[in-house]
Amino acid sequence: MEVRLRPVVVIKLGGSVLVDDESYRQAATFLVRRLHRCSGERFVVVVSARKGLTDELERIARGITKHPNPRSLDLLWSTGEMHSVALLTLHLEELGIPVVGLNVHETGLRRTGAGQSEAGFQSLSSQLRKAFDDHSMVVVPGFFGTLTDGTIVSLGRGGSDLSAVLLAYELEAGQCELIKDVPGYFTDDPDTAPAAERLSSITYEDAIEMTERGCELIQRVALEAARERSLPLLVRSLGDEVPGTVVSADGSQAQTCLNET
């Protein structure tokens, strides 16, 4: 008899929603609700460092030496993401979820080319896949991969978006969900234009054009990677009341347990 594997959902939690100790508890509660609603799915949760921590760590480094070696700086930065992995995993454990947190090397993103283009990375996620043997949820650090010799390297600012996209494609997820501090894309900046309306769907090209105009809600390299792989993205907030914005070739959304009828 053929064994059907439970589908994988990739959810990325950005630093804009991981702002303090309480926010990790709130994020864990959100994930528990989602797991209970979609018990037939397995979850990979990609986390960023707490808001502002990456800049804080860079200030520390440059307070020691004005020109830190990029390798040393990446190593220091990576402690921020690992801090988030550990905290969120502990909160999920407290809520009774079968969860495990992985480190940068276990996550399996490897840079194979020069620069920070998405084409220069591949996903080698054997350890991540194995983690699902005993767990329904796996928490991994975003923003980082490794070189072939194991050196930790960053994926550029906003690189946790790229981490999530690459892992979602490798794990054959139907879509990649990016949790932000806003419930999606709007027709204008809602902070300065209260009448701005949320967009239920936009194309990859629309999102890339908005990035060029200064709306960097999703890292441009991640958008290009999703477009290249025809991977739908769902940009949403932690709240369940707003469905968010789908980013895809035509604005359509992959079928999940949340939109099945």
pTM reported for the whole predicted model: 0.91
Is residue 3 situated within a structural domain? no
More confident residue, 32 or 157: 32
Q: What is the mean pLDDT of residues 232-246?
A: 87
pLDDT of residue 113: 62
Domain assignment present for 103: yes
Does the pLDDT at position 9 exceed 60?
yes
Supply the range of the domain harboring residue 114.
8-248
Q: What is the percentage of the chain residues whose pLDDT exceeds 90?
A: 67
- Kindly tell me if the per-residue pLDDT of 155 is higher than 70: yes
pLDDT band for 5, please (50, 70, 90 cuts): low
Residue 257 inside a domain? The answer is: no
Domain assignment present for residue 260? The answer is: no
Most confidently modeled range among 189-193, 208-212, 257-261: 208-212
In which band, very low, low, confident or very high, does the pLDDT at 253 lie, cut at 50, 70 and 90? low
Q: What is the pLDDT of residue 2?
A: 36
Output 258 or 67, whichever has higher pLDDT: 67
CATH code for the domain in which residue 233 is found: 3.40.1160.10
Give the pLDDT of residue 257. 66
pLDDT of residue 259: 59
Q: Work out the mean pLDDT of the chain and round it to a whole number.
A: 88
Q: Is residue 259 part of a domain?
A: no
Instruction: Please report whether residue 196 resides in a domain.
Output: yes
Residue 155 lies in a domain: yes
Q: How many domains does the chain have?
A: 1
Residue 254 has pLDDT above 70, yes or no: no
Residue type at 21? D
> Between these two residues, 32 and 127, which has the higher pLDDT value?
32
> Does residue 183 lie within any of the structural domains?
yes
- Dihedral of alpha carbons 251, 253, 258, 260, sign: positive
